[in-house]
Structure 1
Amino acid sequence: MSKRSLAAVVAAVLLVAGCGEDDESSAPPTTTPVAPARLSPCEVPEIPTAQCGSVTVPLDRANPEAGTTTVGFTLVPRTDQAQPSLGTVVTNPGGPGTGAVDAVGHVYADGLKPILDRRDLLLVDPRGVGRSSPIHCPALEGPEMVFASADGQRAAIGECGKQLGDKARYYGTAAVADDFDDVRAALGLDRLDLLGDSYGTYLMATYVARHPEHVRSVVLSGAYPVHTDDNVAGGVAIAALRRAVGLVCERTTSCSGDAVLGDLDALAARLRATPVPTDLQYEGKTYPIVLDERMLAGTVGKLYAGSADVDKKLELARALAAARTGDLAPVQDVVRAHLVELASIFALGPSVVSHALLWATTCHDYPQDFDYSDGAADRERDFDDSVKRLKTEDYAPFSPTAWLSRDFYDVGACLDWPNDPTAGAPFPKGTKLADVPALVLAGDLDANTSTTSGKQAAAQFPNARFVEVKDAGHTPTSTPEGAKLVMEFISADR
């Protein structure tokens, strides 16, 4: 797309993981009566033709007594009303926890404009964020969560689960996919062209699994599979980081990939042994932080898990070179900038991005290296044992512990989450997705959802087309080449 604005930043905080076990969350969709939607003009930033509506859906389709929630959406009518519609494109920008309407609706409306003369654009806020009954947790409010240690963040996330109570289990991706289908039915649409970025690729694959008869095509950009034998946030991502560092240096001729990785290895070892207390200014207040290996891993990982901003990557290379000579100030500046960016995202609130929904979905859907039915001590033991089994050399230049606990990619984030017997992947492992037209894009500079992850996502479909986009970060729809591929694919005769 021609611009990404908030979409690029928010999607970059995505937690990516592998597979879950079969359980109630992967049950077949339950048909529920859906009344025709009523649309009315509404205010959506930079989309003057927006028509808005909502549907009421069960919190738990298998248990109507659990209550209902509201799902809000916006339909952007095609610009050429003199001719019949060629279809409806429905998008999701990632997350989980990111809204689609007010957060990034204008990004899609602008980026897809060349094909929206004959196609309508449908923006649906996932349950729990934006115009879809947003949820929030007092435990996650304020920037302290972003600046905290891994233990501090995990405790806050666990407290959020307790604050959500019984409702914490109702925000899995399977439920969201069924909500999207209820919106489709309420609008009287037959088949959809699905476009998912980042977590949106997980959501759209789930929609294909649950509602294949209503899919005309699907595009997954910055994709990862619903099931994998490898932790995508771990070994696959760090290998992609090493590759991307080399590619940036090679293409710019401004650094040596080996030297940058060597500097990073040396600094990680130094901070592993001796963390450096420092401080950070945010919104007029001073916050104490600790520059340790985990914080360094989070910063470096984010720089290679967002847009392909080569200037920032070269700034990091220079900061690491300075650290080699004993000057940590440039690295501290890069880390502070990273943390301020994250804090600024979540300060937007649940009308745009819901921190509570991020963890409600993550802790429900993604696999855990422990059993939710166990007590705290057993959970910790099983999790620690799983990390100890990893090969240190596979995670260079970081330790496995630092890389796997970084920021919001922390694979131990749900250690304190309340027991959820319904938790699990949105469809069973081994499910064969329908043979629908599928395009999967990956950026060769993306260490979030890498080329390896993209190929695994493509393999979910019988005949998906996979394309690695040169010089693209996370997600390739932000590049001219990626946008062109997407629009050509959606526009093809079916």
Structure 2
Amino acid sequence: RDAARHAAAGAATARDAAAGCSGRRVLRDLATVAQALRHRPVTVPLGGGRTLRIDEQALAATAYDAALAPELYTLLPSALRQATAGRAEPLLTLVAQIQVAFAGLFSDGTVSLALNSATACRDYPVAYDRAAPPAIRKRQFARALRAAGTRPFAPFSPQAWIAAVGDGGDSCIDWPDVSRGDDPTAGAERPAVPTLVLEGDLDTNTPSSAGRLAARQFPGARFVELRNVAHTATDDTTGCALAIATRFIRTGATGDTACARRIPPLRVG
């Protein structure tokens, strides 16, 4: 939700404003389309005899994964607006593009699916007891999900959002209980080593709140949030993040970080 608000607000040029582009409107449109796909999923051809089922989960995955491809993320507000007006083709095309782009991360070896799964299932916090049998874990998770309510997942249903985020929720619920051993950092202070955390305010994967938590673990760490930047901070087109990181490595100081607040907004299509 925050990423959608930031993207729309930051890109609110005169033309965008005239078209009614705002974070609030994007979230309303997202809720409208999510509800429609919840009840009436759509199947689109991909070519070569392949098809893609686009349902509420696929839309949720699009909203989550789009930050990995910011050039596609900027197309989401317009595609949603058109979908609410009866023109679904741009949105369906965008969902398919993002699904293919995300799948490509694993298929070309850029990201190891095995390592990603092992790390998530062993290290990430879960809403069930890892030592319990899978059947009990599932009951524990169901209770935790009910207790969380629907608001944290809006505008999607809890089930759609949980299913869309591949390394969270119940994705590891059948994973073997592997003893993690003693935590060598338990109760210990992190070393006071030079630490810099760069974070894009459009990152839906590792939000700024998580970046700040990470920075607070190291005494004297510096946290810099970059406006209008998504998951990989050093991908910003101005070179601001890379300049800050390079200066920090060379001198141990971030220096002037004003450029982080002046990165141009993404152009909403």
Q: Is TM (by shorter chain) over 0.5?
A: yes
Letter in 1 for 2:245: V
Counterpart of 1:271 in structure 2: which amino acid? L
Structure-1 residue corresponding to 2:139: 381
Distance 1:423 1:296 in 2: 39
Change (3 A) 1:389 1:474: same
**Aligned counterpart, 1:103:** none
**Separation (CA, whole Å) in 1 of partners of 2:214 and 2:180:** 24
**8 Å CA contact retained: 1:307, 1:475:** no
Question: Given that residues 150 and 157 in structure 2 are in contact (C-alpha distance below 8 angstroms), is that contact kept between their aligned partners in structure 1?
Answer: yes
CA distance in structure 2 between the aligned counterparts of 1:461 and 1:493, rounded to whole angstroms:
14
Distance 1:391 1:339 in 2: 28
Structure 1 residue 316 and structure 2 residue 82: aligned?
no
- Partner of 2:265 in structure 1? none
Q: How far 1:464 sits from its partner (Å)?
A: 1.0
Q: Does 1:486 align with 2:245?
A: yes
- Give CA deviations for 1:262-313 in whole Å, capped at 9, x if unaligned: 11011111122232233433xxx3334321111101111111x32543xx23
| Partner secondary structure for residue 412 of structure 1 | coil
Length, aligned pairs only: 247
Match of 1:259 in 2: 25
Map of 1:394 onto structure 2: 152
**Match for residue 327 of structure 1 among 82, 87, 95:** 87
2:184 maps to 1:413: no
Counterpart-to-counterpart distance in 2, 1:423 and 1:363? 15
Out of 208, 211, 214, the position equivalent to 1:451 is: 208
Counterpart CA distance in 2 for 1:332 and 1:308 is: 17
Change (3 A) 1:252 1:482: farther
Secondary structure of the residue aligned to 1:387 is: helix
User: Whose Rg is larger?
Assistant: 1
- 1:332 to partner: Cα distance: 1.2
Q: Counterpart in 1 of 2:259?
A: none
Q: 429, 454, 466: which is aligned to 2:223? A: 466
Question: Which residue in 2 is equivalent to 1:62?
Answer: none
TM-score (norm 1): 0.46
Partner of 1:299: 62
Query: What is the aligned partner in structure 2 of residue 290 from structure 1?
Result: 53
Structure 1 position 430, deviation (Å) = 4.9
Q: Deviations over 1:166-200 (max 9, x none)?
A: xxxxxxxxxxxxxxxxxxxxxxxxxxxxxxxxxxx
Q: For residue 268 of structure 1, what is the aligned residue in structure 2?
A: 34
Q: Residues 135-284 of structure 1 correspond to what in structure 2 (within 5 A)?
A: 238=1, 240-250=2-12, 254=16, 255-281=21-47
Query: Secondary structure at 1:458's aligned position in 2?
Result: helix
Q: Deviations over 1:87-126 (max 9, x none)?
A: xxxxxxxxxxxxxxxxxxxxxxxxxxxxxxxxxxxxxxxx
Residues 378 and 332 of structure 1: CA distance in aligned 2, closer, same or farther (over 3 Å):
same
Counterpart-to-counterpart distance in 2, 1:475 and 1:332: 26
| 1:353 maps to 2:111 | yes
Structure 1 residue runs without a partner (length 5+): 1-237
Letter in 2 for 1:389: A
Higher relative contact order structure (alpha carbons within 8 Å, sequence separation ≥ 6): 1
CA contact (8 A) 1:458 1:466 kept: yes
- Is this contact kept in 2: 1:246–1:257, CA < 8 A? yes
1:341 counterpart = 2:101: yes
Q: State the partner residue of 1:441.
A: 198
Identity of aligned residues (%): 35
Supply the distance in 2 between the matched residues of 1:381 and 1:331 (Cα, whole angstroms): 36
Distance 1:251-1:388 versus aligned 2 partners, 3 A rule: farther
User: Where does the alignment leave 5 or more consecutive residues of structure 2 unmatched?
Assistant: 254-269
CA contact (8 A) 1:373 1:421 kept: no
CA distance in 1, matches of 2:14, 2:193: 39
Corresponding residue number in structure 2 for 1:10: none
The whole-number CA distance in structure 2 between the counterparts of 1:325 and 1:363 is 41
Q: What pairs with 1:59-208 in structure 2 (closer than 5 Å)?
A: none
Secondary structure in structure 2 of the residue aligned to 1:267:
helix
**In structure 2, C-alpha distance between the alignment counterparts of 1:393 and 1:414, rounded to whole Å:** 23
Partner of 1:109: none
Bigger proportion of residues as strand: 1
Output the amino acid matched with 2:44.
Answer: T
The verdict on how the C-alpha distance between 1:342 and 1:313 changes in structure 2, with shifts beyond 3 A counting, is: closer
Per the alignment, do residues 493 and 445 of structure 1 end up closer, same or farther by CA in structure 2, a change over 3 Å counting? closer
Q: Is the 8 A contact 1:476 1:482 kept in 2?
A: yes
Q: Is the 8 A contact 1:405 1:411 kept in 2?
A: yes
Q: 1:430 to 1:448 in 2, by over 3 A?
A: farther
Q: Distance in 2 between matches of 1:279 and 1:292?
A: 14
Take 1:441 and 1:289, find their aligned partners in 2: how far apart are those partners? Answer: 36
For residues 190 and 173 of structure 2, what CA distance do their matches in structure 1 show? 31
- The corresponding residue for 2:256 is none
- Once the two structures are superposed, residues 215-239 of structure 1 have per-residue CA deviations (whole angstroms, 9 ceiling, x without a partner) of xxxxxxxxxxxxxxxxxxxxxxx4x
